[in-house]
Amino acid sequence: MKNIEILMAILNFANQSFFLVKSKGAEKATFQDHKGNEHFLMTFEVDGIEQLRGFHSVLTKKPRKNIKGQP
């Protein structure tokens, strides 16, 4: 197993999953992976369309802050 490069890992702690993705150096809240695909710092997983709609409703009711340089 020579020259194996790990590009992503999933860690499971206390019913929470953390996805670690290799990025280019000096990336911030949004980052590009080694292939140039854009990723966000945090993502959410829901179980079905109704939970997705409920989560969307919660998020759209809260005030948001814009990240510098983002619309």
6: which 2 tokens? 């790990």
Bridge partners of residue 20, in order along the sequence: 9
Would you say 15 and 7 are in contact if contact means Cβ atoms under 8 Å apart?
Answer: no
The tens digit of pLDDT for each residue in 47-70 reads 889 988 988 898 888 877 766 655
Looking at residue 66, what is its pLDDT? Answer: 67
Q: Which residues have C-beta within 8 Å of that of residue 40, sequence separation ≥ 6?
A: 29, 30
Looking at residue 68, what is its pLDDT? Answer: 62
End-to-end CA distance of the chain: 45
The tens digit of pLDDT for each residue in 20-48 reads 878 777 767 777 888 888 887 777 777 88
42: which 2 tokens? 């945090």
14: which 2 tokens? 């206390």
